[in-house]
Amino acid sequence: MRGELLAQRGRAVIAPRAVVDLRPYACPLTYVKTRIALERLADGERLELWLAAGEPVESVPRSAEEEGHRVLSVEPLAGRAAEFRVLIEKRAAAPGGLP
């Protein structure tokens, strides 16, 4: 079902190719795991990250953007107080990477 369009609450969404729970990790491991997860995706595929509030959610999505990927959404993780779900779309031709 991954990659297929799913209807959810009336909105069509593409399921993420991978989900990485970064809540147990601190910098720089958060960045490293994000980068590696993105490396493994093909262009256009999506990565879902679960991030703690504070530095992780403030910096990790921005770093991904700086690497040329698209941050599609940042939402509170269902039922959690200080945790977030971030959806990132990989852009393979990202500036700063090697061809």
Write out the residues near other proteins by the rule CB under 8 A.
Answer: 25, 27-29, 31-33, 35-36, 39-40, 59, 62-63, 66-67, 96-98
Provide, rounded to whole angstroms, the least separation between the CB of residue 2 and other proteins: 21
Is 27 annotated in the active site? yes
Both tokens of residue 69?
């990927």
Instruction: Give whichever of 13 and 35 is closer to other proteins, judged by the CB atom.
Output: 35
Query: 75 pairs with which residues across the strands?
Result: 85
Write the CB contacts of 62 (distance below 8 Å, at least 6 apart in sequence). 71
Among residues 6, 26, 27, 32, the one annotated as catalytic is: 27
Q: Helix, strand, or coil here: 24?
A: coil
SS3 content of the chain, % helix, strand, coil (to 5): 25, 35, 45
Instruction: Give whichever of 6 and 32 is closer to other proteins, judged by the CB atom.
Output: 32
Q: Contact, 73 vs 86, CB < 8 A? A: yes
Provide, rounded to whole angstroms, the least separation between the CB of residue 29 and other proteins: 5
Provide, rounded to whole angstroms, the least separation between the CB of residue 54 and other proteins: 13
Which residues are catalytically annotated?
Answer: 27
